[in-house]
Amino acid sequence: MKIPIEISARHIHLSEKDFEKLFGKNEKLIPLRKLSQPGEFASDKTVEIVNRNKKIANVRVLGPFRKNSQAEISLTDAYFLKLSPMPKIKVSGDLANTTKIIIKGEKSSIQIPCIIAKRHLHASIKEARQLKLKNNQKISVEVEGIRGITFHEIVVRISDNYRLALHLDTDEGNSAGIFGKTEGTLEL
């Protein structure tokens, strides 16, 4: 069974309250580009991640607003920023006991939790049924090619707001030599 693979670059999710602090009450989060998951979009806003004398500029803010703000970066980013302790590898939304980072917007800087996103598969209820997958199940997906690799410990996340896609971060994509649109094979 073929699984579409998408590489997630570092990005930020914001609560409406944190957005207002960073950009001001009169600003709007304007969609620039739709993402594969229904309703999700890359916005016109970016922030800078700062840690002492290290910074990463132009980090994209995704929409829509979420209940809690979070940053998702790669381990390479975390080493570059010299974060200590290192952010934890967690599923999106699980923000307990992870490192906080400073992000800088047009109006101010705030601290938000930062994670390294755990690799995960999005699937709608129908797709999950077809693939015989259960929510939170762990699966493996093989990627072929010159850097062929099998990713294990992929968490299945099922919702009718989702569409089938394996999400990896840039470190994982690079490790498998993935450029642009790729598919993997679900291993059962």
> Which residues bind to Zn ion, rule: CB under 5 A?
167
Q: In the complex with Zn ion, which residue's Cβ is closer, 11 or 167?
A: 167
Backbone angles phi, psi at 174, to 5 degrees: -65, -40
**Least distance in Å: CB of 120 to Zn ion?**
6
Buried b / exposed e over 117-152, threshold 16 CB at 10 Å, is bbbbbbbbeebbeebebeeeeebebebeeeeebebe
Q: In the complex with Zn ion, which residue's Cβ is closer, 23 or 162?
A: 162
Q: In the complex with Zn ion, which residue's Cβ is closer, 81 or 121?
A: 121
Closest of 114, 67, 62 to residue 90, by C-alpha? 114
Q: In the complex with Zn ion, which residue's Cβ is closer, 8 or 23?
A: 8
**Least distance in Å: CB of 68 to Zn ion?**
16
Contacts of 12 (CB under 8 A, 6+ apart): 47, 59, 60, 61, 62, 69, 70, 71, 72, 103, 112
**Least distance in Å: CB of 20 to Zn ion?**
26
Backbone angles phi, psi at 103, to 5 degrees: -120, 145
**Least distance in Å: CB of 122 to Zn ion?**
5
Q: What is the CA radius of gyration of the chain?
A: 17
Residue nearest to Zn ion (CB): 167
**Least distance in Å: CB of 104 to Zn ion?**
25
Q: In the complex with Zn ion, which residue's Cβ is closer, 110 or 121?
A: 121
Pairing state between β 54-63 and 149-158: unpaired
